[in-house]
């Protein structure tokens, strides 16, 4: 689907109302230095007591389950008076005990993260921008990856953005394509390319060739001094006319380095796209808002506004396959040399640009692989060094954010290892009464779902129907777990990674059997374990067997959906 089709979608959804979620734009208080002001989401909640009880109950039940499950008297002990017990059985028991402890710890951290986000979530109060500022609108293009019609739609919308001052529209063309150059001339947009300039096309660093951050940093080097701020969207995003009016006002606070907004997908037709947007609910609707409490929402490259002086101070966009998150960390650990104060950021829930999401399983898995790999590389190479220069609140907030991918991957690995050890040799980490375990585990799971459902009222997506459960997003996260494991192994083994532009519109990658190779590999493991249990070992346990079956369904689910969709198309 092209963005012109996406632009047509703008008329079908209430983008106008969702572009004002932060409230009306006001004038800053005269006679006083401006500081960004916020409104707590919890304080405006009409049922605060219920919300508080839900948070406390979720924490207490999950903590109780973890402690009870790991009591020493519940550890598996196998009497062996004659010394005939196989050594590998004892080893399997201890491995499974550690795995269970880590899984429960990760579940507790997940609940803590959700509760913290509920308590900390804040929306900024918008103010009018300073008149007369010099602003550049920037978007990039990789010929062959973004259709020309998509580029035209984005540039045409950018030229309609309202701003009381200089606003120049720039296209950063990675390939110096003649058609794109002609399009810019026809529309009246500025064209920039770094093609053929050796110092802007390096094998690594801020000017790495064939990367988004290298493209941006090249423009910054050539033209950054001509502007105070730049506003930016990905090429597949159509900015709304009020983009600058609702983003730039926060820069009246001299501490603000960048402002970011939520990501929504205008091509809301394909099932994969709908589920992919739903999957991002917690991050864009709650976790980013919680970052406002510490002045440290994560930098998101899809749509943002940046103070150029601050970006040049930290050396430009960071060299990473997820350059936005890595650059945000550099901002948040740095201080403004003019004031000595830490740079801060602002997240606005206002939907100010409508983008295009992955419409095929191939592109969705590629996106998840890149995002998770970038997070792992940030943890391994950058975050541990930056942690010493982050304030305690920012360190806590970032730690909760960056642990999502590794916890998801390790949960899958540990649960899979436990299932295989049980089905193969009968390993057992703990021995507990089944009725008590079902009660505590069921209550903990129910409370986590209730927390998730409660927070759906803060959804910033104009596409998902009001009151929707968000089940598709939860399922999509579960289906992505094998991808996160593959990405984690690649990062741990230091396999080369590269920046990949997610194909858009008519360039979307077609799905094929190879798309699901990672899932099929895991399906073979779990399916083999279940067959081994039935026909050889006879190790049957309700919980472990159900987990093996569920894992098999997760692995084969995307393939089944694709096959069924293809059947319907034929």
**What is 383-449 written as a DSSP string?**
IHHHGGGS-HHHHHHHHHHHTHHHHHHHHHHHHHHHHHHHHHH---SB---HHHHHHHHHHHHHHHH
- Angle (CA) 19-256-169 rounded to 5° is 60
> Residue 505's pLDDT band (boundaries 50, 70, 90)?
low
Please tell me the predicted confidence (pLDDT) of residue 144.
78
**Whether residue 329 has pLDDT greater than 70:** yes
pLDDT in tens, 103-159: 999 999 999 999 999 999 999 999 999 999 999 999 999 887 788 999 999 999 999
> Residue 193's pLDDT band (boundaries 50, 70, 90)?
very high
**Whether residue 506 has pLDDT greater than 80:** no
Burial of 254 from C-beta contacts in 10 A (0-12 / 13-18 / 19+): middle
Rounded CA separation 400/405 (Å):
11
Query: Which residues have CB under 8 Å from 508's CB, separation 6+?
Result: 358, 359, 360, 363
Asked if 138 and 223 touch (Cβ cutoff 8 Å), the reply is no
**Whether residue 432 has pLDDT greater than 60:** yes
Return the sign of the alpha-carbon dihedral for residues 357, 237, 345, 174. positive
Please tell me the predicted confidence (pLDDT) of residue 288.
97
Q: Full-prediction pTM beyond 0.85?
A: yes
**Whether residue 183 has pLDDT greater than 60:** yes
Rounded CA separation 183/556 (Å):
45
**Whether residue 499 has pLDDT greater than 90:** no
Taken in order of first residue, the domains within the chain and their CATH numbers are 3-33+126-361 (3.90.550.10), 48-120+404-458+470-496+512-569 (no CATH)
User: In this predicted structure, which of 8-12, 245-249, 552-556 has the lowest mean pLDDT?
Assistant: 8-12
- For the segment 174-197, the average pLDDT, to the nearest whole number, is 95
Asked if 332 and 342 touch (Cβ cutoff 8 Å), the reply is yes
> Residue 40's pLDDT band (boundaries 50, 70, 90)?
very high
- For the segment 341-358, the average pLDDT, to the nearest whole number, is 95
Rounded CA separation 389/402 (Å):
17
Please tell me the predicted confidence (pLDDT) of residue 521.
95
Locate 181 and state its tokens.
């150059």
- Within 10 angstroms of residue 535's Cβ, the number of other Cβ atoms is 8
Helix (H, G, I), strand (E, B) or coil at 256: strand
Helix (H, G, I), strand (E, B) or coil at 177: coil
**Whether residue 7 has pLDDT greater than 90:** no
Angle separating helix axes 542-569 and 471-492, nearest 10 degrees: 100
Selection from 400, 394, 292 nearest residue 347 by Cα: 292
| Residue spans of alpha helices (H) in 259-403 | 271-279, 281-282, 288-291, 308-313, 323-332, 361-378, 384-386, 392-402
- Within 10 angstroms of residue 318's Cβ, the number of other Cβ atoms is 22
pLDDT in tens, 258-282: 999 999 998 888 889 999 999 999 9
Q: How is the chain split among helix, strand and coil, in percent rounded to 5?
A: 55, 10, 35
- For the segment 474-495, the average pLDDT, to the nearest whole number, is 92
Among 433-437, 510-514, 516-520, top mean pLDDT goes to: 516-520
Rounded CA separation 378/372 (Å):
10
- Within 10 angstroms of residue 255's Cβ, the number of other Cβ atoms is 20
Please tell me the predicted confidence (pLDDT) of residue 143.
84
DSSP letter at 357?
A: -
Locate 421 and state its tokens.
């050890």
> Residue 179's pLDDT band (boundaries 50, 70, 90)?
very high
**Whether residue 197 has pLDDT greater than 60:** yes
pLDDT in tens, 366-410: 999 999 999 999 998 899 888 889 999 999 999 999 999 999 999
Helix (H, G, I), strand (E, B) or coil at 173: strand
**Whether residue 504 has pLDDT greater than 70:** no
Please tell me the predicted confidence (pLDDT) of residue 546.
85
Rounded CA separation 18/41 (Å):
16
Selection from 252, 262, 254 nearest residue 291 by Cα: 262
Question: Containing H/E element for 61?
Answer: helix 48-69
Which three-class secondary structure string do you get for 33-51? Answer: CCCCCEEECCCCCCCHHHH
Please tell me the predicted confidence (pLDDT) of residue 122.
97
Q: What is the mean pLDDT of the chain?
A: 90
DSSP letter at 207?
A: T
- Percent pLDDT > 90 in the chain is 72
Please tell me the predicted confidence (pLDDT) of residue 498.
62
Please tell me the predicted confidence (pLDDT) of residue 390.
92
Please tell me the predicted confidence (pLDDT) of residue 544.
80
Selection from 465, 565, 507 nearest residue 3 by Cα: 507
**Whether residue 1 has pLDDT greater than 70:** no
User: In this predicted structure, which of 60-69, 346-355, 501-510, 517-526 has the lowest mean pLDDT?
Assistant: 501-510
């Amino acid at each position: 689907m092209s963005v012109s089709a996406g632009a047509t979608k703008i008329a079908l959804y209430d983008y106008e109302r969702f572009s004002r979620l932060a409230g009306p734009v006001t004038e800053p208080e005269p006679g006083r230095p401006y500081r960004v002001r916020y409104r707590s989401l919890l304080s405006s909640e009409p049922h605060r007591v219920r919300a508080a009880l839900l948070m406390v109950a979720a924490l207490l039940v999950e903590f109780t389950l973890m402690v009870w499950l790991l009591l020493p008297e519940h550890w598996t002990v196998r009497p062996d008076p004659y010394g005939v017990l196989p050594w590998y059985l004892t080893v399997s028991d201890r491995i499974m005990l550690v795995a269970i402890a880590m899984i429960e710890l990760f579940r507790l951290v997940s609940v803590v993260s959700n509760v913290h986000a509920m308590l900390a979530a804040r929306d900024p109060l918008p103010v009018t921008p300073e008149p007369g500022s010099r602003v550049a609108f920037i978007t990039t293009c990789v010929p062959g990856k973004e259709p020309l019609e998509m580029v035209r739609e984005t540039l045409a919308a950018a030229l309609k953005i309202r701003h009381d001052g200089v606003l120049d529209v720039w296209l950063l063309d990675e390939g110096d394509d003649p058609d794109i150059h002609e399009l810019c001339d026809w529309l009246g947009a500025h064209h920039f390319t770094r093609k053929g300039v050796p110092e802007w096309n390096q094998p690594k660093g801020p000017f790495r060739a064939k990367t988004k951050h290298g493209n941006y940093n090249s423009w910054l080097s050539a033209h950054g001094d001509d502007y105070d701020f730049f506003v930016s969207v990905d090429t597949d995003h159509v900015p709304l006319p009020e983009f600058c009016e609702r983003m730039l006002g926060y820069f009246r606070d001299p501490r603000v380095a960048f402002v970011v907004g939520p990501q929504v997908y205008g091509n809301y037709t394909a099932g994969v796209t709908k589920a992919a947007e739903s999957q991002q609910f917690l991050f864009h609707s709650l976790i980013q808002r919680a970052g406002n409490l510490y002045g440290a929402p994560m930098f998101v490259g899809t749509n943002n506004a940046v103070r150029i002086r601050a970006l040049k101070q930290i050396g430009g966009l960071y060299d990473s396959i997820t350059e936005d998150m890595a650059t945000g960390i550099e901002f948040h650990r740095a201080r403004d040399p003019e004031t000595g104060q830490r740079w801060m950021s602002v997240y606005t829930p206002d939907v100010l640009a409508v983008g295009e999401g992955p419409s095929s399983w191939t592109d969705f898995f590629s996106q998840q692989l890149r995002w998770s790999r970038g997070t792992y590389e940030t943890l391994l190479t950058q975050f541990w060094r930056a942690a010493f220069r982050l304030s305690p609140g920012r360190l806590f907030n970032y730690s909760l954010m960056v642990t999502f991918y590794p916890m998801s991957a390790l949960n899958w690995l540990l649960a899979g290892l436990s299932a295989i050890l049980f089905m193969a040799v009968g390993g057992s980490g703990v021995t507990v009464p089944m009725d008590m375990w079902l009660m505590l585990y069921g209550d903990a799971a129910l409370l986590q779902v209730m927390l998730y459902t409660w927070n759906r009222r803060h959804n910033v997506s104009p596409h998902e129907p009001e009151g929707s459960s968000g089940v598709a997003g939860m399922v999509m996260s579960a289906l992505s777990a094998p991808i996160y494991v593959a990405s984690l192994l690649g990062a741990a083994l230091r396999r080369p990674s590269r920046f990949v532009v997610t194909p858009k519109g008519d360039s979307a990658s077609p799905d094929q059997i190879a798309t699901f190779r990672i899932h099929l590999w895991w399906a073979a493991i779990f399916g083999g374990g279940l067959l081994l249990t039935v026909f050889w070992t006879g190790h049957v346990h309700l919980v472990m067997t159900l987990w093996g079956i569920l894992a098999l369904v997760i692995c084969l689910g995307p393939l089944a959906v694709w096959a069924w969709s293809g059947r319907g198309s034929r």
